A = this chain, B = another copy of it.
Amino acid sequence: MVQKRKDEPEQSAQREPGAPKRRGRPRAYEPDVALGKALDLFRRTGFAATSLDDLSAATGMNRPSLYGAFGDKRELYIKSYRRYRDEARARTAEIFRNDWPVRKQLERIYATALDIYLSGEEGPRGCFTVMTAGSEAVADPDIRAMVQDALTELDKAFAFCFRRAKEKGELPDGADPFVLAQLASATIHSIAVRARAGTPRKELEAIVKGAIDVMLGK
């Protein structure tokens, strides 16, 4: 018989479709918004500096409920990170999907990146991937793999973008789409770091503009 591990909390399988009537006492929270709050907090203070009490206060759930719904702190962090990536991917994929001129596409990508990095009530939140690389990625192989995945995914998206641009003749002949993609990613990483250091938006926008000019051969 399959062993049922008690130490791995159930997925809290919420099935919203229809109204199949959940059986027991109803939840006093919505898992999605709670996870969003947790993500906000993790983005602000990082993994180690965020206590379960902080998370409990932010989500409105008490610790046992938190544990039951998302597992321990590490699992909650991982789920928060997944959600961050899903959101970021959704917002950028929508832009990459269009058949615009490269310049316009890059401008839009960086504009949304800045929106993501500069948002936050109490200071700019930066890029969660960059933050996680700086903190948990070294000691935790699973998290490291997720970060690596995020980095290469961005590289590939930019590479696709530049490859198409080259086919359309928007780039100089010698241009290497993948090299340009890595430069585009580097610019993303850089504005993420600078955002958290307090660099104002105007300055970041200037950096982005300069980088685009160089990448597209002015």
A residues in contact (CB < 8 Å) with B: 44-49, 122-126, 130-131, 133-135, 137-139, 144, 147-148, 151, 174, 176, 178-180, 182-183, 185-187, 189-190, 193-194, 196-199, 207, 210-211, 213-215, 218
**A74 smallest CB distance to B (angstroms):** 12
Number of copies: 2
Given A134-B46, A135-B46: A211 touches B194 (CB 8 Å cut-off): no
Given A45-B139, A46-B134, A134-B126: A182 touches B196 (CB 8 Å cut-off): no
Residue of B nearest to A50 (CB): B48
> Chain A contact residues: over half helix, strand or loop, or mixed?
helix
Identify which of B147, B148, B179 contacts A213 (C-beta below 8 A): B179
- In the bound complex, how far is the Cα of B135 from the Cα of A193, in angstroms? 10
With A137-B198, A151-B194 known, 20 other A-B pairs at CB within 8 A are A44-B138, A45-B139, A46-B48, A47-B49, A48-B49, A130-B134, A130-B193, A133-B193, A134-B135, A176-B210, A178-B210, A179-B213, A182-B207, A182-B210, A182-B211, A183-B214, A186-B187, A186-B190, A189-B193, A214-B215
